Structure formats: structure tokens, C-alpha cells
Amino acid sequence: MRFLTGVFLALAMALPAAAQAPGATHHVAADLIASRNAIAPGETIYVALHQKIETHWHTYWRNSGDSGEPTRIKWDLPAGWSAGEIVWPAPKRIPVGPLMNYGYEDDVLLPVPLTAPANAKAGDKVTLKAQVSLLVCAEVCVPEDDALSLTLPVVATPAAPGGGASDKVMAAVAAAPKPAGLAAVYQVRPAGVALAITGAALKGADAVGAYFFPFESTVIDHAKPQAIERGPQGLTLTLAPGYGFQGGKSPASVGGVIEVGDKAYEVAATPGVPPAGASGLGPPAAKGAGGADLGLAAAALFAFLGGLILNLMPCVFPILAMKAASLAGHGGSENVEARRQGLAFGAGSVLTFLALAGGLIALKAAGSAIGWGFQLQSPPVVAVLCLLMLGVALNLSGLFEVGTSMQGAGSGLASRGGALGSFFTGALAVVVAAPCTAPFMGPALGWALTQTPAAALTVFLALGVGFAAPFVLVAYAPGLLSRLPKPGAWMETFRKALAFPMYGAAAWLAWVLSQQAGPEDLAKLFAAAVLVGLAAWLAGLSQKRAAMGRKPVLLTAVAGAAAAIAVATVVWPQDKTAELQSEPYSPARVAELRAEGRPVFVNYTAAWCVSCQVNDKVALSTHRVAQAFGRHKVAYLKADWTKRDGAIAAELAAHGRAGVPLYLVYGTGGGDGVILPSILTPDIVVKAVEAADKH
């Protein structure tokens, strides 16, 4: 499985070259822009480093994430003049393989406050010089250096805004994240670090997609998803802890930028208990609009109304569409079967709501930081649901029929006719609909989860009844059923048309997975989706042959195996990482180890090299490679070019390379080292090590 992941990653990245040494063609056009056309004595203006970044390339924020380096500016100013720190714009998330980086694309302005001395003379001209060092990356990383300058006249009184590009500088300053009076605390929990943020700026804000960018690179695991709980006064994010929390350590403060919608704010969190109103599960949600205690009756009513409205949410429609064709088949009469299906759907919905509520209450009691819709915070669950939606869509498209050997416990049960199919449709609708929190649900659920289990389950029961009521009413009311179209040939066309909302639901879940787990797990999901399509086609072929009186045992078995492999592909745990023990590189040490008759693996790398870090994660930090190194007694040396050491640059040039990554394997039989590809997989490394030990 790790090999397949590596192949997908290699194809996706398609790195054509290594990270390059200084002197390569620039991919960033840089210049300096001032917020004023002149400066007065004692005045502070902003001078911005303007980066026009080549398409598909990016530079880095003050915390570059898992790899990369932030842009640095070293000013050379006349005596008495001073420059402050960069005013960093809010960054973008830039996922690369299993890594998450933070940076900028296209155009970006990095303003810096610059102050003239009080004794500056009007009529003089001042030249501001800046030495800029930056790292620009796409599939490769290139360190670039620029010597920039800007000349401004000194005037007696402050100048008016310059307009044009000068106005853009002040717009960048205004848009940059700033403190907004937000209160923030963090608390270490079993599920991770709960970062709770409250304040007027977050009231009513859409928290979907909210993200925390820490100032320090060691605070969180950047590549892990950030679970979100919304509250009436703010939100709570559950973050995977980084090195800063290892060994029982807790930093005195966790600072960073919280991005909510199109706004971003600076926050600084200290250790403490999450305040009221930071999540939908806390005490503030127990209050009504007027601030009084909600009470069981009001909470149940709110939950019922929320359940009704939940049927209007876009994420629910694809599931209800599965049963629409079946219910239409009972049109024109008062049908007992339609009533049975409606009640079965209601039972499936209500019982699933109660089951989810029980799990939520139990996890909350255990101290986990989870919220409503928590079942879609697990990438394996999202992936299986995506495959389930795809299977239902293929069934509705007519690729195979339910009720034969391919009928499974998921899409088969939900798609089949009768009461059992309706029951599982209700269950599936709840699982997918739960994250779509409707109006009235937040206060009701918040109140419920601060009460006794009996009161909480009563509220969830009301929520389930409200959710199931419309479908049960349509199925049970003769007058409504009589308005449905009569059965006929149109139903087959209608059935196939209903497949497309299911394809859309599968695509949405794939997008959710990409946000949670990144390209590596998305590649696995795509491979599993192909297997699901193959299984559906083989199942349909098997059914056709069975209808002709044949016994397609082999086809049925292969179809079942393909479906099982598809599910295993997305739920099978990743290979555990294993850190290789390395020692610093030097030519003398390589010669010494080779004289001992040991295989030697030399890794020319850099902390800012994206492809180097991806290779470390995907290939070198795996148990297979660690076991191979141990089995063959391989000496592992790291040549760290993070600071662009001249001796390492000379070694790279000697092997025909302008930069990192470069991987050399020296065999026990002497001779030149074997150069490995720039994109590694565990198989490539293991085979190279085995070959090196055979000489």
C-alpha cells in the first residue's frame, strides 16, 4: 500500500529536477513600493516588498509550515533611520504530499514600517537599500537573493497618499491580521489541543473552514485536520499537538492567526479552561435568545424544528432521492407498503440519531473535543461513505441490480426495496445529514449535552422525529400519495436521473477527504473508486449471466473481492513511521565507512526543500526501509544543505547536480555511488540497499 501511495505521489508531483542552487533563473520579480511618494522628518510610512510570483510557484509566510523558509529583509539605512518588522498578510494553505506549508502565490505585498529621524533635512533624498532572501518553490525549491533600493525625497510636511501602487500598500496593511479583542485559551485534552476563541468579531461568523495558523512551527502538526466546534460566542478548534507539547510540556502562550471566512485575526492563547460560548456543546448554548435557561420542553421543540429544517439542507437531498423513485411507485392509492416504508424510514432515522447521540455523550464524558457531525471528522469514515455513495449511484445508473450477490450492508441495504431498505436509508440519511447543522439545532444540542443522559436523549429523540416526519407524512397520508405520478416507463429514466445527486455527494465527500488528509489519501480513494466501479460492472455481468441460467461463481467472487479490496484500501492504516538513525556527512566519514566494507546511504537534503521532506515522510521514514537498513547494516549519512554549505555544494556539482535532493548509495564492492531518483518510494530504497550489499 505504501508503494502504491508513493507511485501516486510521484505521478502527482512529477518533479523534473532537484532544488536548485542560487544563481538559477528568478521565479519572483521583486521590487520596493512606498505608501507615500515622499517622507517628512519623524514620519513613519510603509515600504512594501512586492513579490510577483511566477504561476504555480509560491513563497512562504513567517511560519512556513512543514518545510520552506520565510522571506527575510535586511535593511541598509542611513544613520537615524529605522525599519520595523514585516506586516505579514494572512497566508494560504499549500499542501504538498503529506506536508502542509503556509505561504503566498501570485502577487503579495509585505509591508514594513519605516521611520525617518526627526532631524532629517527637507530637500534631501534618501536611498533605502534592502537585501532580500527568499525561497520560492513549486515542484522544486530555489533560493533567491535580491539587492533592492528605493529613493524618496524628504519633505517638510507629510505628503498626501500617492495613489495607484502606493494605495495598495496601505490596503495590504489594513487587510493584514490584527488583534480584534478576541479572548483565547488552550487546553490539552486526549483528543488534542483545544483552542477556544471568543469575541464580538466571531459572533455569527461562518466557522466552516476556519483555520488556525500558528506563529511557531513546533506548536501543532500542520498536516493534520483541525476539527471545528461552533458556538454562539466563537469557536473551538481541536489541533494535533506538535513538538512543543511533547514530554508534558506546554508553551506559555500559543500565538497565531485565526482565519474565519474572509477575515483573519491575530490571537494569543494562554493555558486555561475554554470559556463559555466557544462551542456548540458548552453552557452558553443552554441559553435562549433572551438569556434564560432553555429547559427540556423548549430544547425538545427547538430540536424538532431543527430536524424539520434539516430536510432542506443540500447534503440530505441526495439520500432522500434514493427512496423517491420507490415511493413514487406506490402513487395513486392508499398503499399499505408505502406506509410500512415510511415508518421504517422513520425508525431508521430516529434510532440512528439516538445511536449518534449516545456516542457523542460518551466521548464528551471521556473528555474528547468533538462536536455534532463528529462521524465525518474521521478520514476512513468519510472515504467509506464516499465509496458507499458511488456504489448507490452506480446501482441507480443500472450498472448492477440490488438483490443479488452484490447486495451489501451499506449501499445495498439502503438501495433495496421494502421496509428494510427504507430503514437503512433513514440511517444513512442521518449519518450524512448530521454535519449540516440547521437553525434551532445549536441551542438545543448545546443544552442537551450539558444535561443528564436521559434529558439529552429526549432532545435527540425530538430531533430524529422532526427529521423523519416529512417522509413519514408523505408515505402515510392517502391524499398526498394520490398526488404522486402513476407508475410507468418514466420510472426507469427517473431512477437513472437520481444517480447524479449521488455522484455529486460522492464528489463532495472526496473533497472533504482532501481537506482532511491531503493528496496521499485522496489518491487511495481514487484507486478504491476504480475498484468499486469494476466490482459494480462485474456484478451486473454476473447477474445477466445468472438470468440466462448460468452459474457465474467466479465473476461473483471477483466482484466481491474487488469491493472488499476497495474498502480495505481506504481503511487500512498507513505504515507506521520509523526514524532512521543518521550521522553527519563528510567525505572522510564516507571513505572510512566504505573501508569497513559497509553499504553507505548519503542523503543530500535541506529543511526548506519540499521534495526532500516528502521523500523523508513517504519513503525513508517507514518500517520497511528501517528494517532493510538494519538488516544490511547500512550507514546513513545526512548532508544538510539548509544553510547552503559550500563544501556540500561542491559535492553536488561533482555529481552533476545544482542542488538537493540527491541520494547516493555506495556498495560494499567499491566503485562510484549509485544515484537514486529524486522521487523515492520504499521499494526503490530497499532494492538499492539490497543491491549495494551484494557486491
Domain ranges of the chain: 2-176, 179-279, 296-571, 583-692
Read off the C-alpha cell for 579: 526514524
DSSP state of 667: -
Query: H or E element: which one contains 186?
Result: strand 183-189
* Residue whose C-alpha cell reads 525625497 in the numeric block: 153
Spatial separation of the C-alpha atoms in residues 401 and 536, rounded to whole Å: 9
Q: Classify domain 583-692 by CATH number.
A: 3.40.30.10
Q: What is the mean pLDDT of residues 3-17?
A: 37
Backbone angles phi, psi at 357, to 5 degrees: -60, -45
Tell me the β-bridge partners of 306. none
Give me the residue label for grid cell 445511536.
355
**Cα–Cα distance measured from residue 473 to residue 206, given in angstroms and rounded to the nearest whole number:** 33
pLDDT band at 31 (very low <50, low <70, confident <90, very high): very high
Q: Tens of pLDDT along 632-665? A: 999 999 999 888 788 888 888 788 776 678 999 9
What is the rounded distance in angstroms from the CA atom of residue 387 to the CA atom of residue 506?
Answer: 7
Tell me if 687 sits within 8 A of 677, measured CB to CB: no
Grid-cell match 458511488, residue found:
390
Q: Taking residues 519-536, what's their average pLDDT? A: 88
Please give the pLDDT value at position 22: 36
Of the listed ranges 124-128, 328-332, 396-400, 423-427, the least confidently predicted one is: 328-332
Cα–Cα distances in angstroms (integers) from residue 429 to residues 102, 277, 422, 469, in the given order = 36, 29, 10, 13
Q: CATH says 2-176 is which class?
A: mainly beta
Render pLDDT for 229-238 as a digit per residue (tens, 0 to 9): 877 788 889 8
Q: What is the pLDDT of residues 439-471, one digit of tens each?
A: 556 556 656 655 677 877 888 888 888 888 877
pLDDT computed for residue 580 by the predictor:
84
Q: Of 9-23, 350-364, 554-568, where does the model show the most confidence?
A: 554-568
Count the Cβ atoms, other than its own, within 10 Å of residue 174: 10
| pLDDT higher than threshold 70 for residue 408 | no
Q: What are the grid coordinates assigned to 391, written together? A: 456504489
Tell whether the model's pLDDT for residue 14 goes beyond 50: no
Residue 378 — pLDDT band, cuts 50, 70, 90? low
- DSSP three-state, residue 569: helix
Query: Using the 8-state DSSP alphabet, how is residue 191 labeled?
Result: T
pLDDT confidence of residue 34: 94
